[in-house]
């Protein structure tokens, strides 16, 4: 009783002190009142003070620890923590039933409190779509299922099963860091932009992964046109300001260029009639064609569409450096060209999330250059089943095809001449992909000499950052370069390319489609099974859980002027205005909520009737 009175007196004295600078006694009072509580109930929150070092008082942080002390997994609900709010995380959360709260204590942690529908990000950058139309609040998906904390996970301790999370620094408020224990962790933190070590990219280019990136580009385009329209702007400066460079000829780069063209052709040409003639849109691509992972007919159609639209394709070229207003590109002949620009969009390459790198260092058997390795059920290797991963954060560890190169080659070389024809190679990859699924994508494209070139492109994009930089420096396309116009492959060539494919190729492409399917798959696993993260309790899962199988539904891209392209399995390429209507319908219906479906449809209609708003606000 006397002890309680002392605590009450000390706590009362604390009210007279600043909340921002509590005394050690005040901290002790607040924590001391809780120190007698035993966290026997799952989900209890215990406030603890770290052992104070011999430093000034301000260096002694107070952490709130969401502990699991006294937690009995045999009877209590496992704490399931989900990191991220992208495609993998949100498809997982959406697919979970409301009754999931009866099985798990679900907590979602992400520095972004919304889901972003990334396929329509280029439309936001040009005003075709409003940003609020393609974002969904995370909390809408977890009502009745669990809790959400807007925080950035800064560290994972896989042994103690503990996270350190802090409120995002860019919010302008105190970090409010806290520790949280978990039983099961789902990693869906995605990837980050990859500059490949090229000088100037980070300082002078616009990235294209977030809503902030799209808004920055939108403002920059408006700034360039307004500055170019001034009477004091020289002609040379005006042409520079109105040159827009997109680095990367993949789906994102192509769609950014297409949306820029639509905005300029349909709206800005009427508002800036005297300067629109100086506008130039250029796409820089390492390969000899854009959309290199699509059917070659689609690449040719897109190139023709861009040519008619006046969009310049700078092919077989790599970016050597970027300076203020100038991007330096080098072609295969090692000729250097400087392209002056008003805005440069970096739409190529992804790299490992720093949090993934930290986790790799703490787990055995983790060596992939871009993500954590998982088994075919999406469990992170070395975590004893307590950590799962989806999306760009995960790569399913596949058996190495190179180990069986001799056997595969001998089986395919039916005439025993020590060489494989394109047809033999195609049959080899098709058969081998049943065991080595990472070869399936190559087998699908290897149907002609043009398919071989696309195979080379896929290999080129599968290399580690160091190898990718070296390949970019030489302008090489490994498989196509080895063939060098030939229609045959030797055993040594086959081994060399197979080794490169094994070394860095993701079993599945880093796309929203893959992350979406993985999230839904994981939701079914956690819904139909009680996953505890304890090896002794989860042992039956080894036989009950079926491996994840990806079903490729096809690829699509918008190419401007209400036209789109589709690369569909078994059907083949679809192009033109009809494909454009299907593309818009698909993107509208693919929104996660009826609200956003209505907003996206309304934005398409608004843009057609009233045009785009070019105000720089």
Same domain for 512 and 392: yes
* Residue-level pLDDT at 449: 43
**Over residues 160-181, mean pLDDT:** 90
Q: Domain ends where: 504, 529, 561?
A: 504
Q: Assess whether pLDDT exceeds 90 at residue 458.
A: no
Q: Are residues 467 and 445 in the same domain?
A: yes
Q: Is the domain of 477 the same as that of 498?
A: yes
User: Cα dist. 526→232, 447, 519, 545 in Å?
Assistant: 64, 40, 11, 10
SS3 of 36, please? coil
462 falls within a domain? yes
One domain for residues 493 and 408: yes
Residues 256, 231 share a domain: yes
- 3-class SS string, 15-31: CCCCCCCCCHHHHHHHH
Q: What is the pLDDT of residues 102-149, one digit of tens each?
A: 999 999 999 999 999 999 999 999 999 999 999 999 999 999 999 999
Could you report the per-residue pLDDT of 564-585, keeping only the tens digit for each? 999 998 888 999 999 999 999 9
Q: Are residues 470 and 541 both part of a single domain?
A: no
- What is residue 473's predicted lDDT score, i.e. its pLDDT? 34
From residue 122, give the alpha-carbon distance in Å to each of 189, 194, 578.
Answer: 22, 19, 20
| 10 domain residue, yes or no | no
Could you report the per-residue pLDDT of 60-81, keeping only the tens digit for each?
A: 556 677 777 667 788 889 999 9
Range in 373-377, 430-434, 437-441 the model is least confident about = 437-441
Task: Decide if 146 contacts 105 (C-beta within 8 A).
Answer: yes
DSSP label at 314?
E
392 and 295 housed in the same domain:
no
Q: Given its phi and psi angles, is residue 197 left (phi above 0), alpha (psi -120 to 50 degrees) or beta?
A: left
Q: DSSP letters of 237-283?
A: HHHHHTEEEEE--SHHHHHHHHHHHHHIIIIIHHH-TTTGGG-EEEE
Q: 409 is written with which tokens?
A: 């080659």
Asked if residue 434 and residue 355 are part of one domain, the reply reads no
The candidate with the shortest Cα–Cα distance to 318, out of 310, 330, 326, is: 330
Residues 6+ away with beta carbon under 8 Å from 520: 91, 92, 95
Are residues 524 and 392 both part of a single domain? yes
Identify whether residues 388 and 420 lie together within a single domain. no
Is the confidence at residue 490, as pLDDT, over 90? Answer: no
| Cα 268 from Cα 275, distance rounded (Å) | 10
Quickly list DSSP for 328-383. EEEETT--EEEEE-SEEEE---EE--HHHHHHHHHSTT---SSSEEE-TTSBBTTT
Q: What is the pLDDT of residue 489?
A: 81
pLDDT at 417: 83
Any domain includes 132: no
Domain count, the chain: 3
- 241, part of any domain: yes
Same domain, 101 and 172: yes
357 lies in a domain? yes
381-427 per-position pLDDT tens digit: 999 999 999 999 999 987 777 777 888 888 888 888 888 887 788 78
Domain boundary, last residue among 483, 504, 525:
504
Task: Provide the 8-state DSSP code for 418.
Answer: S
Predicted local confidence at residue 389, as pLDDT: 97
Give the residue numbers spanning the domain of 72: 63-111+151-194+350-398+507-551
- Domain contains 14: no
Domain assignment of residue 116, yes or no: no
Tokens, residue 88: 């993998």
- From 45-54, 152-161, 324-333, 387-396, the region with the lowest mean pLDDT: 45-54
Task: Check whether residue 458 and residue 518 sit in a common domain.
Answer: no
Residue 446: pLDDT band by 50, 70, 90 thresholds?
A: low
Determine the pLDDT at residue 438: 63
User: Which residue, of 439, 471, 504, is where some domain finishes?
Assistant: 504
Instruction: Give the residue from 111, 115, 114 showing the smallest Cα distance to 177.
Output: 111
In this prediction, residue 314 carries a pLDDT of 96
192-193 and 184-187 strand pairing: unpaired
Residue 141, by phi and psi: left (phi above 0), alpha (psi -120 to 50) or beta? alpha
CATH number at residue 286: 3.50.50.100
> Would the CA dihedral through 117, 118, 120, 121 be positive or negative?
positive
At 221 the pLDDT is 96
Measured between alpha carbons, how far is 357 from 439 in angstroms, rounded to an integer?
A: 26
Q: Tell me which of 7 and 435 has the higher pLDDT.
A: 435
Whether residue 24 is contained in a domain is answered as no
Q: Are 49 and 60 in contact (CB under 8 A)?
A: yes
pLDDT at 101: 95
């Amino acid at each position: 009783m006397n002890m309680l009175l002392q605590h009450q007196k000390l706590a009362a004295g604390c009210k007279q002190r600043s909340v921002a600078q509590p005394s050690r006694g005040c901290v002790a009072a607040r924590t001391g009142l809780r120190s007698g509580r035993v966290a026997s109930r799952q989900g209890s929150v215990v406030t603890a003070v770290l052992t104070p070092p011999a430093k000034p008082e301000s260096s002694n942080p107070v952490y709130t620890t969401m502990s699991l002390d006294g937690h009995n997994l045999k009877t209590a609900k496992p704490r399931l923590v989900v990191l991220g709010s992208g495609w993998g995380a949100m498809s997982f959360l959406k697919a979970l039933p409301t009754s999931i709260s009866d099985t798990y204590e679900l907590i979602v942690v992400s520095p972004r409190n919304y889901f972003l529908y990334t396929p329509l990000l280029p439309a936001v950058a040009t005003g075709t779509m409003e940003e609020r139309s393609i974002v969904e609040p995370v909390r809408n998906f977890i009502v009745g299922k669990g809790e959400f904390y807007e925080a950035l996970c800064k560290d994972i301790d896989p042994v103690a099963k503990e996270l350190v999370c802090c409120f995002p620094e860019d919010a302008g408020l105190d970090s409010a860091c806290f520790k949280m224990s978990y039983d099961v962790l789902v990693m869906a933190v995605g990837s980050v932009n990859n500059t490949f070590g090229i000088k100037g990219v980070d300082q002078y280019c616009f990235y294209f992964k977030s809503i902030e990136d799209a808004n920055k580009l939108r403002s920059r385009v408006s700034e360039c046109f307004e500055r170019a329209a001034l009477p004091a702007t020289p002609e040379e400066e005006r042409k520079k300001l109105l040159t827009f460079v997109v680095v990367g000829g993949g789906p994102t780069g192509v769609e950014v260029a297409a949306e820029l063209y639509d905005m300029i052709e349909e709206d800005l040409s009427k508002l800036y009639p005297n300067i629109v003639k100086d506008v130039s849109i250029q796409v820089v691509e390492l390969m000899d064609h854009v959309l290199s992972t699509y059917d070659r007919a689609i690449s040719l159609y897109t190139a023709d569409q861009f040519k008619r639209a006046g969009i310049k394709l700078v092919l077989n070229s790599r970016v050597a450096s970027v300076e203020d207003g100038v991007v330096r590109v080098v072609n295969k002949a090692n000729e250097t060209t400087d392209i002056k620009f008003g805005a440069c969009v970096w739409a190529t390459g992804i790299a490992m999330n720093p949090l993934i790198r930290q986790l790799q260092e703490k787990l055995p058997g983790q060596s992939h250059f871009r993500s954590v390795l998982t088994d075919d059920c999406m469990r992170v290797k070395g975590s004893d089943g307590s950590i799962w991963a989806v999306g760009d954060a995960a790569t399913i560890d596949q058996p190495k095809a190179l180990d069986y190169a001799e056997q595969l080659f001998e089986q395919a070389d039916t005439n025993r001449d020590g060489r494989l024809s394109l047809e033999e190679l195609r049959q080899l990859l098709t058969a081998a992909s049943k065991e080595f699924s990472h070869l399936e994508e190559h087998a699908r494209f290897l149907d002609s000499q043009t398919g071989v070139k696309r195979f080379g492109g896929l290999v080129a994009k599968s290399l580690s950052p160091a190898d990718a930089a070296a390949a970019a420096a030489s302008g090489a396309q490994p498989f196509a370069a080895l063939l060098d116009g030939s229609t045959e492959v030797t055993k040594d060539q086959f081994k060399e390319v197979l080794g490169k494919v094994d070394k860095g190729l993701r079993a599945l492409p880093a796309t929203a489609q893959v992350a979406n399917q993985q999230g839904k798959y994981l939701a079914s696993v956690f819904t139909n099974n009680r996953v505890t993260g304890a090896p002794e309790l989860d042992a039956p899962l080894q036989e009950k859980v079926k491996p994840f199988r990806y079903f490729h539904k096809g690829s699509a891209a918008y190419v401007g002027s209400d036209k789109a392209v589709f690369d569909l399995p078994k059907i083949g390429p679809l192009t033109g205005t009809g494909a454009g209507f299907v593309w818009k319908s698909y993107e509208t219906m693919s929104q996660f909520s009826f609200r956003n479906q209505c907003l996206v449809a309304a934005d398409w209609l608004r843009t057609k009737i009233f045009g785009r708003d070019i105000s720089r606000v």
